[in-house]
Amino acid sequence: MPLPKLATALLRRLRRRPLEALSAALVLATSVYVVVGPLWVARYPLMTDLPFHAAIASVFRHYFDDAWHFREQFVLQPFAVPYLTTYLLAALLMTFASA
C-alpha cells in the first residue's frame, strides 16, 4: 500500500475512534518523556564508566590474540567479574564488528 493511501486510511480510522487516537498520543508522549527525561536533566553523562566496560570486553575479546599482548598484562579471573555475561556477550558481538 503506498504511503499516501496508508496515511489516508490511518487518518480515517483515527477520525472514527478519537479516544483511541488520544490514548495512543498520551502513551507515546509518556514513553518519550520517560526515555528522554533523564537524559535531558542529567548534568553529566549517565554512563561515565561505559569506556571501561568496553575496554574490559575488548580484553575478553582479544585475550588469546598474540598481537594484542593481553595475556602478558592480565590474568583472567572470570568469577571475580560481576558483569561477566555482559562482557562475554560484548566480546562475541565484537567479532562481527570491524575494529
The reported pTM is 0.54
User: Which residue type does 17 have?
Assistant: R
Structure confidence at residue 2 (pLDDT): 64
How far apart CA 56 and CA 19 sit, in angstroms, is 50
Q: What is the DSSP string of 17-76?
A: -HHHHHHHHHHHHHHHHHHHHHHHH-SS-TTTTHHHHHHHHHHHHHTT-TTTTHHHH---
Mean pLDDT by 10 residues, the chain (99 residues): 73 82 89 90 83 92 94 90 91 84
Number of H helices, E strands in the chain: 5, 0
Structure confidence at residue 71 (pLDDT): 94
